[in-house]
């Protein structure tokens, strides 16, 4: 009879106890020994079957287009592989697409899982570019507003004629200039 791994563990622990007590000659029941043999045999068969299933894993076609995978696979393991990919996608937010990379030798491969109907990487870039443009526009407005602060009214520069180096308003204008690249058109190459 094939034993469960719990039963095998119990038998092992029992025999180990006898061994530790110095009862090396203690007899094990024939049934116990046969059960262990049966279990080993069953495990071996299972192992072979798994090996066979792994060999059956075949990818018939794999197309990558606009970040979308179209894959035809066969075998139980392959289906599990596909499920794992989708799970990976969902665990990583699962909104539009997720990319994973791997080096094989000197070459780098990327696999992208994309939800159909979701945003493509190109869509995402476009949306981000738009967002950056909006942020740059707001920054420009903030810079203008800060530049218009009269030194007489500046809380950091009492009694001075120009904004000092330690003036927070002055510092912020410098920081904004850095972010905007000092250009007035507000466009940044990305």
Q: Tell me how far apart the alpha carbons of residues 188 and 186 are, in angstroms, rounded to a whole number.
A: 7
Burial of 82 from C-beta contacts in 10 A (0-12 / 13-18 / 19+): middle
Binding residue (CB under 5 A) for Zn ion from 15, 156, 171, 186: 156
CB of 149 to Zn ion, least distance (A): 7
CA-based R_g, the chain, Å: 34
Q: Which is nearer to Zn ion, 113 or 167 (CB)?
A: 167
Q: Which is nearer to Zn ion, 90 or 168 (CB)?
A: 168
CB of 168 to Zn ion, least distance (A): 7
Binding residue (CB under 5 A) for Zn ion from 36, 113, 154, 176: 154
CB of 123 to Zn ion, least distance (A): 43
Q: Which is nearer to Zn ion, 62 or 145 (CB)?
A: 145
DSSP bridge partners of 100: 111
Q: Pick the closest to residue 111 from 42, 64, 158, 150 (CA basis).
A: 64
Interaction between residue 180 and Zn ion (CB under 5 A): no
Q: Judge whether 120 and 96 are in contact, CB under 8 Å.
A: yes
Q: What does the binding site for Zn ion look like in residue numbers (CB under 5 A)? A: 154, 156-157, 163, 167, 169
């Amino acid at each position: 009879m094939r034993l469960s791994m719990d039963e095998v563990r119990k038998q092992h622990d029992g025999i180990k106890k006898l061994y530790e007590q110095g009862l090396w000659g203690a007899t094990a029941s024939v049934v116990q020994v046969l059960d262990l043999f049966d279990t080993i045999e069953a495990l071996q068969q299972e192992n072979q079957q798994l090996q066979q299933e792994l060999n059956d894993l075949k990818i018939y076609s794999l197309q990558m287009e606009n970040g979308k995978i179209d894959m035809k696979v066969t075998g139980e393991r392959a289906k599990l592989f596909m499920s794992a990919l989708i799970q990976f996608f969902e665990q990583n937010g699962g909104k539009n697409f997720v990319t994973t990379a791997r080096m094989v030798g000197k070459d780098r491969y990327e696999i992208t899982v994309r939800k159909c109907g979701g945003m493509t990487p190109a869509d995402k870039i476009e949306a981000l570019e738009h967002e950056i443009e909006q942020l740059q526009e707001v920054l420009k407005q903030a810079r203008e507003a800060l530049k218009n602060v009269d030194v007489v009214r500046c809380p950091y520069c009492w009694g001075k004629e120009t904004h000092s180096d330690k003036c927070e308003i002055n510092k912020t204008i410098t920081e904004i200039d850095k972010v905007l690249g000092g250009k007035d058109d507000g466009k940044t190459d990305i």
